[in-house]
Amino acid sequence: MQTGMKPSVIEKPAVEEFNAYYGGYISQVTEPDLLGVLASQPNEVTAVFGSLDESRGTFAYAEGKWTIKELLSHVIDGERHFAHRVHRISRGDMTPIEGFEQDHYIATSHAHERTFADLVAEFSELRQANLRSLRSLDESDWLQIGTASGFPISVRALGFIMAGHVRHHVNILKDRYLA
């Protein structure tokens, strides 16, 4: 890989580039154009969540499960955390990055005080900023490996995780909340 060259295709990461926990997210992305998938997801999130009536926001499909607005808030939290990891690792920061306790974040998210439109706009704006950053990476940046949550992780694995995480939760919304 050469510094300064933008990759024409971002290959899926090798299994040693991520914790097995993330394999399910990575496998959600079957298309060859990772950046295209990432770019299309704000429209998908808008179509799915933006069409919901506000009264559906506090619905959970089972006891102890997140509500629809909490689910969307979690997607936003994930976007922020994965992008933070991309930023640090792609810049050569090898300081181990701590994990985050998703349920604690949701408990203090104030998701139910927000509208779907506001939550969807936040996700879309975050993703647009993250895409701008991801498009600036060269081939060697995508291959950088750091440590997050105690495990090795590459920048390209994080890109696939970002896309797969959104896809995973949109599928859960469709299958369990809206079915």
pLDDT in the model for residue 143: 97
- How many separate domains does the chain show? 1
The answer to whether the Cα torsion of 87, 90, 91, 97 is positive or negative is positive
Dist CA 38 CA 82 (whole Å): 13
Q: Which of 101, 97, 100, 73 is nearest to 85 (CA)?
A: 97
Would you give per-residue pLDDT tens digits along the chain (179 residues)? 456 788 889 999 999 999 999 999 999 999 999 999 999 999 999 999 999 999 999 999 999 999 999 999 999 999 999 999 999 999 999 999 999 999 999 999 999 999 999 999 999 999 999 999 999 999 999 999 999 999 999 999 999 999 999 999 999 999 999 99
pLDDT in the model for residue 156: 98
In a domain, 4, yes or no: no
pLDDT in the model for residue 1: 46
pLDDT in the model for residue 2: 52
Backbone dihedral angles phi then psi of residue 132, each to the nearest 5 degrees = -60, -45
Under 8 Å between Cβ of 116 and 71: no
Q: What is the CATH number of the domain that holds 162?
A: 1.20.120.450
pLDDT in the model for residue 7: 86
Q: Which residue range forms the structural domain that includes residue 67?
A: 17-177
In a domain, 80, yes or no: yes
